[in-house]
């Protein structure tokens, strides 16, 4: 589950664009390494109590948990703030309290009463109380930044939130909603970064013009996690320091530093040299080259992002059901996963990523040109047709696009790739001006509704619609399926709810204009001595609180 | 007496007219620059709201920001509003870093300035003698060598050379430090007053940190220096060849002036005049920030900042950055004009 809002919208794409210049020549340069013998040169080392990671951190635009929605910032928040509740990254059905001690759900299912753990403090030394928890949620709703909808979807808004989230004691508060939503949905949403508990006293000391300290907090820190944020210099460095007041086990590292290294080959060199402990953005060829290095180990974990093709239903060919079906048989899934992406994705063909409640792990489609031709003939286009695909000009997306172009041509479907910068292709996609869009989608929170909401709901397919989910972007009008997705949102029984999502995915897998292809796997290269780095399903689950080296 | 005052008055008026003319040119240049950048920024098919709110924001948040950015107003009004702000020194805030543009540029520009300055020093110190040498040995192996080196420097992609340089000098030989401006261990051992690390560390006597910063800058600066050297040596060579073919050189030789004096004093002195412009423009080019070098060497400079901003349609940042680059070009052009008149007796007398 990636808080990939803006990351996907903007910066992340560009990070990949920058790398794109150098891809080919970088491999040539590094190929030269094989030729030259490697004398053991003096070894640079990072300080023993400092973790140094190389990562593209240009997606950070704010450090305020009420606004954070990007990969990097989510991870930083996950290690520096505490949410009310959390889940076990290995088994997401195991939900437990972090700041909260326990919770009870009212008879009518519209109120959750939380108890806060007593005797714990923020990094500032202030005690963590119900007042802080209430303030944090109210603040996020009132600030109304991009991730606020994760909370406001339960019927909260700036006007009513003071009545909906109320302290009932020093260490207890009520969270009220407008409907009896599935408890799993509400709880998962409260594990999101936007529900982090901030230090009310510290934040309000920096309030200006009724901004709830937003101007200050977006570049500062007021939390209670294992680390504190000492310094953020955009596109340069983020420095975290051990929180001496942390209530849990104190981290072994006194400092954790992110260095902004945009170029993947550079990250690899730094890692090989020992100037960093962990390289976070490695390209397929870097991973291949590091596999045999005795000083380096590779660790990976499945992430929530999904790669898919969106087929615009405004296109006369793509709107035919058999054509949609044929397209799903014209992608060589396994080959792309094994070669182009080399271990950074796995084949996955349903809209809920593996690891989510109710995820469907069937992969019914594989490259089958004969079958696709049959379907095209049924649809009345036996000789195929010509369509365009807007393709982000990053090396990986471009390579995928070219592979798909080839296999589609085998059935007579002429795919013209229109390369474009990330912002460009996305702007076009959002306006429904594409034929086919090759995209990547990360869930906003750990609950299945986040993806169902966008892949299987389209309340209003008109051009003026208020909400514009992915189904809308591809002009897929699905009143019935929207109803089913809404029902799943309210189902209280987790097992029944999971079953509803499986059904939704099974249906959508066959009929939808989405050719869902892969689920992302995050791969990090680290020095052999690094131990205990946790790669979770979402970036705020990535943890180095118990890392040693 | 009267003639003298009159003369002085006339000369004063002349200066005033020239100064006003210059100012008008500069103002027109800036206005054109801003207008074109502004229009390009609006024509680019990238939605600037996306950079602010992201792909997932609900429509209400999107609309709010759309309005806040003034995108619902006519284009000329947006431009006018922006110009008014700029006139008061307010360049707005970057969508991406959430900081005032002025503050951002103050942070990224020193990194580029330091790199460019070291590079141009290397480029000039090597390039000018190399060019002179090549001109004197025209057609012989020394000339060919300089020309081939220049050609390679001019045509090899810099990030490729950059990665290769890192591989050899950093990863294999370990003689220079890796990407970045300074090691973390030294990061907090001095106060970055100007942001020019070499200067700051030297002034504060933090010589360990100075050494570390130096070992970080030397590789990227040498590479960029090599590039400017390629250009400078080629230009020096052709200027020198032109001068060495002049009659005054023959005269000097006939008079028995020693050859080194003819080359280094007589010819170079005259070749230096157009060379100043070449060096100034190379310097200006480096100050724009070399995007690829900054990317490969993880150098947090202007080039990276501007590219990132442009790709995200962060127009305040792009316009602010453009203005800085424009100012650098105009400034260095003026400076080279000034040096021109100091070095060239004819220009001096003409004025």
Chain B from 202 to 261: CB within 8 A of any A CB: none
CA-CA distance, A290 to A374, in Å (whole number)? Answer: 44
Q: Which of A144, A275, A428 sits opposite B45 (nearest CB)?
A: A428
**A222: pLDDT confidence band, cut at 50, 70 and 90?**
very high
Asked whether the beta carbons of A54 and A279 are under 8 A apart, the reply is yes
CA-CA distance, B178 to B174, in Å (whole number)? Answer: 9
Beta bridge partners of A527: A296
Contact B163 A265 (CB under 8 A): yes
Letter string b/e over residues A470-491, b meaning 16 or more CB atoms within 10 A of that residue's CB: bbbbbbbebeebbebbeebbeb
**B332: pLDDT confidence band, cut at 50, 70 and 90?**
confident
Interface test with chain A among B312, B316, B321, by most A beta carbons within 10 Å: B312
B188 touches chain A (CB under 8 A): no
ipTM given for this complex:
0.76
pLDDT of residue A484: 96
Letter string b/e over residues B186-225, b meaning 16 or more CB atoms within 10 A of that residue's CB: bbeebebeebbbbbbbbeeebeebbebbbbbbbbbbbbbb
pLDDT of residue B40: 79
B104 touches chain A (CB under 8 A): yes
**B4: pLDDT confidence band, cut at 50, 70 and 90?**
low
Beta bridge partners of A296: A527
Higher pLDDT, A484 or B80: A484
Place of tokens 């054109």: B32
Chain B from 315 to 334: CB within 8 A of any A CB: none
CA-CA distance, A398 to B329, in Å (whole number)? Answer: 37
CA-CA distance, A146 to B95, in Å (whole number)? Answer: 14
Q: What is the DSSP letter of A539?
A: G
CA-CA distance, B214 to B218, in Å (whole number)? Answer: 6
Residue among A445, A473, A440 at smallest CA distance from A8 = A440
Q: CA quadruple A63, A18, A396, A472: dihedral positive or negative?
A: positive
pLDDT of residue A178: 95
Residue-wise pLDDT tens digits, A23-45: 444 444 444 443 333 333 334 57
CA-CA distance, A475 to A319, in Å (whole number)? Answer: 9
CA-CA distance, A78 to A227, in Å (whole number)? Answer: 9
Query: What average pLDDT does this structure show over A63-92?
Result: 92
CA-CA distance, B124 to B232, in Å (whole number)? Answer: 7
Q: CA quadruple A76, A63, A249, A173: dihedral positive or negative?
A: negative
Q: Is the pLDDT of residue A336 over 70?
A: yes
Question: DSSP readout, B144-197?
Answer: HHHHHHHHHHHHS-HHHHHHHHIIIIIIIS--S--SSSS-HHHHTSS--SSS-H
In the sheet that A165-169 helps form, which strands lie side by side, from edge to edge?
A: A100-105, A111-116, A172-176, A165-169
Residue B237 tokens, joined:
């060579």
Residue A140 tokens, joined:
């996020």
pTM confidence score: 0.82
**B327: pLDDT confidence band, cut at 50, 70 and 90?**
confident
- The share of chain B scoring above pLDDT 90, in percent, equals 15
Place of tokens 């942001």: B195
Contact list, A261 vs chain B (CB under 8 Å): 179-180, 298
Contact B170 A261 (CB under 8 A): no
Residue-wise pLDDT tens digits, A172-211: 999 999 999 999 999 999 999 999 999 999 999 999 989 9
Residue among B239, B231, B218 at smallest CA distance from B155 = B231
Query: What average pLDDT does this structure show over A384-403?
Result: 93
Residue-wise pLDDT tens digits, B92-123: 888 777 788 888 888 889 999 999 999 999 99
pLDDT of residue B347: 61
Contact A236 B160 (CB under 8 A): no
Chain B from 64 to 93: CB within 8 A of any A CB: 64
Query: What average pLDDT does this structure show over B62-74?
Result: 84
Q: Which of A14, A52, A235 sits opposite B311 (nearest CB)?
A: A14
Q: Within 10 A of A109 (CB to CB), how many other CB atoms are there?
A: 16
Contact A233 B107 (CB under 8 A): yes
pLDDT of residue A32: 41
How far is the alpha carbon of B5 from chain A, nearest alpha carbon, in Å?
59
3-state secondary structure A153-187: CCCCCCCCHHHHEEEEECCEEEEECCCCCCHHHHH
pLDDT of residue B3: 55
Higher pLDDT, A47 or A451: A451
Higher pLDDT, A481 or B268: A481
Residue A46 tokens, joined:
């990072």
CA-CA distance, B225 to B282, in Å (whole number)? Answer: 10
Beta bridge partners of B100: B93
Coil/strand/helix, residue B345? helix
- The share of chain A scoring above pLDDT 90, in percent, equals 76
What residues contact B22, with CB distance under 8 A and at least 6 apart? B334
Residue-wise pLDDT tens digits, A436-480: 999 999 898 999 999 999 999 999 999 988 888 999 999 999 999
- H or E element in which residue A11 lies: helix A11-35
Residue-wise pLDDT tens digits, B134-178: 988 888 888 888 888 888 887 888 878 888 999 899 988 888 988
Q: Within 10 A of A385 (CB to CB), how many other CB atoms are there?
A: 17
Q: Is the pLDDT of residue B7 over 70?
A: no
pLDDT of residue B312: 74
Residue among B344, A318, B204, A302 at smallest CA distance from B196 = B204
- Counting Cα atoms < 13 Å in the Cβ hemisphere of A97 gives 13
B307 touches chain A (CB under 8 A): yes
Higher pLDDT, A374 or A235: A374
B56 touches chain A (CB under 8 A): yes
Q: What is the DSSP letter of B262?
A: I
Coil/strand/helix, residue A236? coil
Question: DSSP readout, A439-470?
Answer: EEE--SSSSTHHHHHHHS--S--STT-S---H
The total number of residues written for chain A in this structure:
549
Q: Which of A263, A272, A444 sits opposite B171 (nearest CB)?
A: A272
**B276: pLDDT confidence band, cut at 50, 70 and 90?**
confident
Residue B7 tokens, joined:
């003369």
Contact B298 A260 (CB under 8 A): yes
Residue among A1, A159, A149 at smallest CA distance from A541 = A1
Q: Is the pLDDT of residue B348 over 70?
A: no
Residue among A347, A335, A342 at smallest CA distance from A283 = A342
pLDDT of residue B158: 82
Beta bridge partners of A51: A256
**B11: pLDDT confidence band, cut at 50, 70 and 90?**
low
Q: Which of B51, B98, B104 sits opposite A218 (nearest CB)?
A: B98
Asked whether the beta carbons of A59 and A71 are under 8 A apart, the reply is yes
β-pairing, A386-392 with A414-420? parallel
Q: Which of A50, A423, A444 sits opposite B50 (nearest CB)?
A: A423
pLDDT of residue B10: 67
**B316: pLDDT confidence band, cut at 50, 70 and 90?**
confident
Coil/strand/helix, residue B21? helix
CA-CA distance, B33 to B328, in Å (whole number)? Answer: 13
**A21: pLDDT confidence band, cut at 50, 70 and 90?**
very low
B58 touches chain A (CB under 8 A): yes
Of A86-100, A293-307, B250-264, B334-348, the least confident? B334-348
Place of tokens 């291949």: A288
Interface test with chain A among B177, B179, B212, by most A beta carbons within 10 Å: B179
Q: Is the pLDDT of residue A255 over 70?
A: yes
CA-CA distance, B33 to B330, in Å (whole number)? Answer: 11
Q: Is the pLDDT of residue A512 over 90?
A: yes
Asked whether the beta carbons of A124 and A205 are under 8 A apart, the reply is no
Chain A residue whose CA is closest to B54? A6
B95 touches chain A (CB under 8 A): yes
Contact B50 A8 (CB under 8 A): no
- H or E element in which residue A232 lies: strand A227-233
pLDDT of residue B273: 84
Contact B295 A262 (CB under 8 A): yes
Q: How far is CA A233 from the centre of its chain?
A: 23
pLDDT of residue A93: 85
CA-CA distance, A343 to A288, in Å (whole number)? Answer: 10
Q: Within 10 A of B89 (CB to CB), how many other CB atoms are there?
A: 7
Contact B61 A29 (CB under 8 A): no
Contact B166 A145 (CB under 8 A): no
Question: DSSP readout, A325-389?
Answer: HHHHTS--HHHIIIIISTTSEEE--SSSPTTSTT----------HHHHHHHHHHTT-TT--EEEE
Higher pLDDT, B148 or A130: A130
**Average pLDDT of every residue of chain A:** 89
Query: What average pLDDT does this structure show over A334-360?
Result: 93
Q: How many CB pairs under 8 A join A and B?
A: 196
**B19: pLDDT confidence band, cut at 50, 70 and 90?**
confident
pLDDT of residue B22: 80
Q: Which of B170, B298, B305 sits opposite A259 (nearest CB)?
A: B298
Contact list, B64 vs chain A (CB under 8 Å): 144
Beta bridge partners of A514: A310
What residues contact A406, with CB distance under 8 A and at least 6 apart? none
Asked whether the beta carbons of A338 and A509 are under 8 A apart, the reply is no
CA-CA distance, B28 to B305, in Å (whole number)? Answer: 26
Contact list, B166 vs chain A (CB under 8 Å): 266, 269
């Amino acid at each position: 589950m990636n808080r990939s809002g803006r990351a996907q919208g903007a910066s992340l794409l560009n990070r990949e664009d920058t790398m794109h210049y150098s891809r080919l020549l970088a491999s040539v340069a590094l190929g030269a390494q094989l030729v030259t013998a490697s004398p053991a040169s003096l070894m640079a080392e990072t300080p023993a109590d400092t973790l140094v990671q190389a990562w593209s951190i240009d997606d950070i635009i704010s450090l305020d948990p009420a606004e954070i929605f990007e990969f990097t910032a989510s991870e930083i928040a996950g290690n520096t703030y505490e949410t009310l509740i959390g889940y076990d990254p290995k088994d997401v059905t195991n939900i437990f309290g972090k700041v909260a001690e326990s919770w009870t759900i009212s008879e009518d299912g519209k109120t959750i009463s939380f108890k806060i753990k007593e005797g714990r403090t923020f990094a500032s030394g202030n005690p963590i109380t119900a007042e802080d928890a209430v303030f944090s949620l109210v603040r996020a709703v009132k600030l109304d930044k991009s991730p606020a909808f994760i909370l406001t979807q339960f019927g909260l808004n700036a006007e009513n939130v003071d009545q909906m989230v109320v302290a009932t004691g020093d260490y207890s508060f009520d969270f009220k909603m407008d409907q009896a939503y599935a408890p799993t949905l509400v709880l998962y949403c409260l594990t999101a970064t936007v529900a982090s508990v901030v230090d009310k006293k510290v934040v309000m000391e920096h309030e200006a013009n009724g901004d709830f300290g937003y101007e200050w907090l977006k570049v500062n820190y007021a939390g209670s996690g294992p680390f504190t944020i000492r310094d953020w210099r955009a596109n340069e460095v983020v420095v975290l320091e051990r929180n001496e007041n942390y209530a849990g086990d104190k981290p072994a590292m006194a400092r954790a530093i992110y260095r902004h290294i945009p170029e993947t080959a550079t990250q690899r060199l730094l890692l090989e040299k020992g100037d960093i402990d962990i390289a976070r953005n490695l390209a397929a060829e870097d991973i291949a080259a590091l596999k045999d290095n005795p000083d380096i180990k590779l660790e990976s974990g499945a992430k929530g992002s999904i790669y898919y093709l969106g087929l615009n239903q405004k296109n006369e060919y793509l709107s035919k059901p058999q054509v949609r079906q044929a397209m799903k048989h014209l992608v060589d899934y396994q080959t792309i996963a094994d070669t182009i992406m080399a271990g950074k994705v796995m084949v996955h063909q349903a809209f809920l990523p593996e690891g989510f409640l109710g995820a469907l792990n069937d992969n019914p489609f594989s490259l089958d040109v004969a079958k696709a031709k049959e379907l095209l003939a049924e649809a009345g286009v036996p000789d195929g047709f010509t369509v365009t695909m807007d393709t982000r000009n990053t090396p990986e997306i471009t390579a995928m696009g070219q592979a798909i172009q080839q296999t589609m041509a085998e059935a007579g479907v002429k795919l013209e790739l229109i390369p474009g910068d990330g912002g460009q292709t996305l702007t076009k996609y959002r306006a429904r001006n594409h034929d086919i869009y090759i995209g990547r989608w990360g869930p906003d929170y750990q609950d299945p509704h986040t993806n169902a909401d966008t892949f299987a709901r389209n309340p209003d397919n008109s051009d003026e619609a208020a909400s514009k989910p992915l189904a809308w972007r591809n002009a897929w009008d699905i009143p019935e399926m929207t109803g089913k997705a809404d029902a799943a949102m309210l189902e209280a029984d987790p097992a029944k709810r999971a079953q509803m999502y499986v059904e939704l995915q099974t249906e959508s897998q066959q009929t939808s204009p989405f050719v869902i292809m892969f689920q992302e796997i995050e791969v990090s290269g680290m020095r052999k001595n690094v131990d205990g780095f946790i790669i979770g399903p979402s970036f705020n689950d990535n943890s180095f609180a118990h890392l040693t080296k | 007496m009267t003639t003298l005052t009159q003369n002085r008055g006339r000369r004063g008026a002349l200066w005033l007219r020239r100064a006003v003319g210059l100012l008008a040119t500069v103002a027109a240049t800036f206005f054109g620059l801003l207008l074109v950048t502004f229009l390009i920024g609006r024509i680019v098919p990238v939605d600037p709201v996306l950079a602010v709110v992201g792909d997932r924001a609900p429509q209400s948040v999107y609309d709010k920001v759309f309005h806040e950015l003034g995108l619902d107003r006519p284009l000329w009004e947006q431009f006018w509003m922006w110009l008014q702000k700029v006139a008061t020194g307010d360049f707005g805030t970057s969508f991406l870093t959430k900081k005032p543009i002025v503050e951002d540029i103050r942070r990224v520009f020193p990194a580029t300035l330091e790199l460019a300055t070291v590079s141009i020093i290397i480029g000039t110190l090597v390039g000018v003698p190399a060019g002179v040498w090549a001109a004197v040995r025209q057609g012989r192996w020394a000339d060919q060598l300089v020309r081939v080196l220049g050609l390679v420097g001019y045509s090899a992609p810099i990030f490729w050379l950059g990665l290769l340089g890192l591989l050899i000098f950093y990863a294999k030989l370990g003689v220079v430090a890796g990407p970045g401006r300074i090691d973390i261990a030294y990061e907090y051992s001095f106060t970055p007053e100007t942001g020019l690390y070499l200067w700051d560390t030297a002034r504060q006597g933090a010589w360990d940190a100075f050494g570390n910063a130096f070992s970080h800058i030397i590789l990227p600066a040498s590479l960029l220096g090599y590039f400017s050297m390629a250009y400078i040596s080629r230009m020096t060579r052709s200027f020198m060849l032109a001068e060495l073919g002049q009659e005054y050189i023959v005269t000097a030789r006939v008079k028995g002036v020693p050859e080194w004096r003819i080359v280094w004093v007589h010819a170079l002195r005259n070749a230096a005049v157009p060379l100043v412009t070449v060096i100034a423009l190379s310097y200006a080019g480096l100050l724009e920030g070399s995007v690829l070098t900054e990317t490969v060497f993880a150098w947090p400079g202007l080039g990276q900042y501007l590219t990132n901003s442009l790709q995200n349609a962060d127009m305040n940042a792009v316009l602010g950055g453009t203005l800085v680059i424009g100012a650098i070009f105009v400034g260095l052009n003026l400076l080279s004009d000034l040096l021109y008149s100091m070095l060239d007796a004819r220009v001096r007398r003409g004025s």
